Amino acid sequence: MPQNRTRQLERHLGDWMRHRLPFGVAEFVMFVLKQGWAAIFGAALLAGIIISSQIWQADWPIARYDALLAYALGLQILFLATGMESWREVRVILLFHFTGTAMEIFKVHAGSWAYPGDGIMKLYNVPLFSGFMYAAVGSYMARVIRLFDMRFAPYPPFWTTVLLGTAIYVNFFAHHFLPDIRLALFAATVILFIRTRIWFSIGARWYWMPLPLAAFFSSFFLWLAENIGTFTKTWLYSGQSSDQWVSFAKMGSWYLLLYVSFVTVTLVFREALSSKPHVPETPPHPLFAK
């Protein structure tokens, strides 16, 4: 669906609900719907993982991992053909593919987790569809920035965020050989972004949320998605069985990885960043009032 038609649909739906629901309820419903629309690629990919885990048979002519790769490629083509994603957003997704696949290969080799299923389209025991799981995060971030017309302000010096993102990414590899500095990195995310608000619009109204808090909430939902992956035996952590919940400690890993993801997105969406406080055209309605 072309992007201008998406905005028209959103406007008509918002107007319809505001005439029938209390204002706060209507705004919350619109927020949830827009978040769901932004996450549609990841939701469709999770649906494919769940359904395939229930129906796949070992004697079928194509392995489940290879079928998931074809499915993910089909989703990407569909999103581009219908205008649900732009070529600009695809640039972000490609960056996620490269960084995510590199991490997958290293972590699987290091024994952090494994992919127990068979498949032809594997690289160093990592099925190629796994890159799309990271791409789903990139797709969500790029789409949510556009759908909510997000602004990040006041934003710290860009070079400091790139340095932090690089340090986090390197630590995911280096902690296997050197002391783990993730506690310092947790502190750095708060120190660097404590003043940064995510400004977003729902209809004509503006709202804001502290960026570290948004990262925490997002890490929780990604932790839930990880449990779907392990429950369906798509991947398993070292020493974990498919009926065990993923450790809450993995939320911390996702919290840090989200900053790597966010910095990667800002390499393409620099116009959403402002070193000065954002002043919306209409009076703001903060989710977290002073």
Asked if residue 6 and residue 100 are part of one domain, the reply reads no
Asked if residue 141 and residue 4 are part of one domain, the reply reads no
pLDDT band at residue 121 under the 50/70/90 scheme: confident
Q: Is residue 240 part of a domain?
A: yes
Do 87 and 80 meet the contact criterion of CB atoms below 8 Å apart?
yes
Asked if residue 126 and residue 13 are part of one domain, the reply reads no
219 pLDDT higher than 50: yes
pLDDT band at residue 288 under the 50/70/90 scheme: very low
Asked if residue 111 and residue 27 are part of one domain, the reply reads no
**Is the entire prediction scored with pTM above 0.85?**
no
Q: Give a three-class secondary structure readout of 35-72.
A: HHHHCHHHHHHHHHHHHHHHHCCCCCCCCHHHHHHHHH
Q: Is residue 279 part of a domain?
A: no
Name every residue whose Cβ is closer than 8 Å to that of residue 216 and which is 6 or more positions away in sequence: 255
Asked if residue 28 and residue 64 are part of one domain, the reply reads no
Asked if residue 152 and residue 97 are part of one domain, the reply reads yes
- CA atoms of 18 and 214, how far apart (whole Å): 26
pLDDT band at residue 283 under the 50/70/90 scheme: low
Asked if residue 127 and residue 32 are part of one domain, the reply reads no
Residues spanned by the domain of 103: 42-272
Which has the closest alpha carbon to 257: 86, 61, 99?
99
Which has the closest alpha carbon to 230: 251, 219, 218, 245?
245
Asked if residue 241 and residue 115 are part of one domain, the reply reads yes
User: What integer is the mean pLDDT of 116-140?
Assistant: 85
Query: What backbone phi and psi angles, to 5 degrees, belong to 197?
Result: -105, 140
Q: Structurally, how many domains does the chain consist of? A: 2
Q: Is residue 277 part of a domain?
A: no
Q: Is residue 65 part of a domain?
A: yes
Name every residue whose Cβ is closer than 8 Å to that of residue 80 and which is 6 or more positions away in sequence: 87, 90
Q: Which helix (H) or strand (E) holds 192?
A: helix 182-193
Asked if residue 20 and residue 104 are part of one domain, the reply reads no
Q: Is residue 147 part of a domain?
A: yes
- CA atoms of 187 and 190, how far apart (whole Å): 5
The one-letter amino acid code at 85 reads: E
Asked if residue 142 and residue 206 are part of one domain, the reply reads yes
User: What integer is the mean pLDDT of 58-66?
Assistant: 88
Asked if residue 253 and residue 222 are part of one domain, the reply reads yes
The residues pairing with 113 across neighbouring beta strands, listed in sequence order, are 237
Asked if residue 10 and residue 82 are part of one domain, the reply reads no
- CA atoms of 68 and 102, how far apart (whole Å): 19
Q: Is residue 134 part of a domain?
A: yes
Q: Is residue 282 part of a domain?
A: no
Do 65 and 119 meet the contact criterion of CB atoms below 8 Å apart?
yes
Confidence at residue 1, expressed as pLDDT on a 0 to 100 scale:
44
pLDDT band at residue 213 under the 50/70/90 scheme: very high
Q: Is residue 290 part of a domain?
A: no
